Structure 1
Amino acid sequence: METVDLFSGCGGLSLGFQNAGFEILAAFDKWEPAVKVYRDNFNHPIYDTDLGSEEGLEFVKSLKPQMIIGGPPCQDFSSAGKRDETLGRADLTISYANIVASAKPEWFVMENVERITKSHILKEALQIFKKAGYGISYQVLDASFCGVPQSRKRFFLVGHKHSTDNFLNPYFNKNLSSKQMTLFDYFGKSLGVEYYYRHPRSYARRGIFSIYEPSPTIRGVNRPIPKGYSKHEGDPVEISDKVRPLTTKERSLIQTFPEDFIFNGSKTDLEQIIGNAVPVKLGEYVANCIKEYISDRQENKQITVGQLELTYDE
């Protein structure tokens, strides 16, 4: 299925869908450091284009994609951001919806932070999608149940021209792991540490974590242990020379980028790029749910998940 990735960042969602067998035609992003990383890792083009403009909309439309995927900037909803929808970046969610409504792909996938569910912008975007004729499924997924060793909750909204609402929810649910994936599950002891430091947003929170639990959300900030850091009651061990922050590379691996994925740029930019990315395996999880739905629909299969039963009979 020919796919275009909007607001692609360095390509976590692109790579996840590509790994699942989707053909990425092109990507779009405006931040040059992320565009450079993307360009270093994919064979298809990435365009530095303003997707909030009429020209951007027409350009995407001209590619005639069968699917549009992407994560419009989320700072205005994010717990790490200002949580102020009037700042303007939330408007790019509406730009994304308008591009989808105009380009009319058969499918689209929109990713964002969990907090978007509390925003009026989402309601506005949903109205645009429904008016354009899409059946809608959406769910908040915890990456640690989707093959990623990280507790990271993200909102996914999937639209399809020829389906009823909630069509994908059974697949989102039935494919989840029964337990969270830990760093040890994913890496074994290859990181060379059992405990590591992750700078907390406030010192009311713990800063030391174990490899025998999922990583907390990888953010765009990665600071060394401050001098005089005092042990939080939630920290499993005292600070010692055996406890260190994770490296930029290790953080990219926790985001499930492959070992050979190229990250060139300043440390500050790369930390932000990696923190902003969709974990590759999370993107792959969503892509595989869509593939399974398409396959079952073609075969008129019946699926039962809990009390929910759907029969495809066209």
Structure 2
Amino acid sequence: MRTIKVVDLFCGCGGMSLGFQNAGFDLVAAYDNWEPAVKIYKKNFNHAVHNKDLNDETVDVEISAFKPDIIIGGPPCQDFSIAGKRNMGERSNLTIRFAEIVSSVQPEWFVMENVYNIERMPVLPKAVSILRNAGYGLTIKILDASRCGVPQARKRFFMIGHLGDTDGFLEELLNSRMSAKQMTLYEYLGDSLGTQFYYMHPRSYNRRAVFSIHEPSATIRGVNRPIPEGYQKHPADKTEILDGVRSLTSKERSYIQTFPEWFEFDGSKTVIEQAIGNAVPVKLAEYVGKCVLDYAERG
């Protein structure tokens, strides 16, 4: 089997990199502009990780030098100001920059991950247009991580491109391997948490915050707080008795993101929680990677 070389853009602490590595790809380089995540990445991978602003257009040539067969990445879905002479004063998006880099470097494949509601954002058609014009057939899919080997109800957007292929080329493989039921925390971690119920700080107190290990976890975010004193129970909380209910440790939350036990997280608690919450679940990336690899081998 030929070696398929990967460059990971907006790599964060390395969830997507590790998933593709586990699937059988050869990671040759990674890029991110958040120093704390780069520091964690360096502790866990042997290949180079570059702390660079991918908005700098000189990076295209640098990435081309690695001769990647596939570019992967989860560009942060937020506006940024473009400085310099190119589009002074205009607002754009790192998703567009990802598409531009792929279009410039022309790897055989790319995989882009993002928030599931990017489909409602005006940036997506622009990125799609750039990639189609560069010759890529596209498979666009919202995946529920809990049906792809992750004990977490986390929906994510994936766009997979293959040069010269037809749209929807990977749809059948992505669908055929999906689990019919969502994976629970108990199925993945057994009794290792030492509790049947746990607290996850909600986005608002209109939402429940106490979960059972016999269901998928809610989406792991970059915020992790202890259960507040005098917490008012939500009607949908999974237990009436809050005695013994606790929030999860950073390490436990990394397991729910399907990072292995050996993966080291370094930095302040705030940094570690944000890095874990921002990561692509390892097993979800592995799921997509294996589908790409099997499709490539068929060809």
TM, length-normalised to structure 2 = 0.93
Identity over aligned pairs, percent: 59
Residues 19 and 283, structure 2, Cα contact 8 Å, conserved in 1 = yes
Q: Secondary structure at the match of 1:54?
A: coil
Partner of 2:157: 155
Partner of 1:218: 220
Aligned equivalent of 2:103, options 76, 101, 104: 101
Partner of 1:247: 249
Partner of 1:124: 126
Residues 77 and 94, structure 2, Cα contact 8 Å, conserved in 1 = no
Partner of 1:18: 21
Partner of 1:63: 66
1:238-295: CA deviations, max 9, x gaps? 3533100010000000000000000011000000000000000000000011112122
After superposing on structure 2, the runs of 4+ consecutive aligned residues of structure 1 that deviate more than 4 Å are none
Partner of 1:33: 36
Q: Secondary structure at the match of 2:186?
A: helix
Q: 1:156, 1:169 → 2: CA distance?
A: 11
Partner of 2:177: 175
Partner of 1:300: none
Residues 231 and 239, structure 1, Cα contact 8 Å, conserved in 2 = no
- Unpaired runs of 5+ residues, structure 1, are 77-85, 298-314
Residues 149 and 183, structure 2, Cα contact 8 Å, conserved in 1 = yes
Q: 1:11, 1:184 → 2: CA distance?
A: 25
Residue 296, structure 1, aligned to residue 272, structure 2? no
Instruction: Identify if the C-alpha distance between structure 1 residues 67 and 112 changes in structure 2 by more than 3 Å, giving closer, same or farther.
Output: same
Q: Secondary structure at the match of 1:27?
A: strand
Q: Secondary structure at the match of 1:265?
A: coil
- Unpaired runs of 5+ residues, structure 2, are 80-88
Residues 17 and 284, structure 1, Cα contact 8 Å, conserved in 2 = yes
Residues 9 and 73, structure 2, Cα contact 8 Å, conserved in 1 = yes
Q: 1:74, 1:41 → 2: CA distance?
A: 25
Aligned equivalent of 2:274, options 267, 272, 275: 272
Q: RMSD of aligned C-alpha atoms?
A: 1.4
Shift of 1:183: 0.2
Partner of 1:7: 10
Q: 1:59, 1:91 → 2: CA distance?
A: 21
Q: 1:237, 1:283 → 2: CA distance?
A: 33
1:163-205: CA deviations, max 9, x gaps? 1110001111101011100000001111101000001111111
Partner of 2:204: 202
1:93-131: CA deviations, max 9, x gaps? 111100000000000000001010111111000000000
Partner of 1:145: 147
Instruction: Identify if the C-alpha distance between structure 1 residues 239 and 45 changes in structure 2 by more than 3 Å, giving closer, same or farther.
Output: farther
Shift of 1:53: 1.1
TM, length-normalised to structure 1 = 0.89
Q: 1:30, 1:239 → 2: CA distance?
A: 44
Residues 77 and 93, structure 2, Cα contact 8 Å, conserved in 1 = no
Aligned equivalent of 1:48, options 46, 51, 66: 51
Shift of 1:58: 2.2
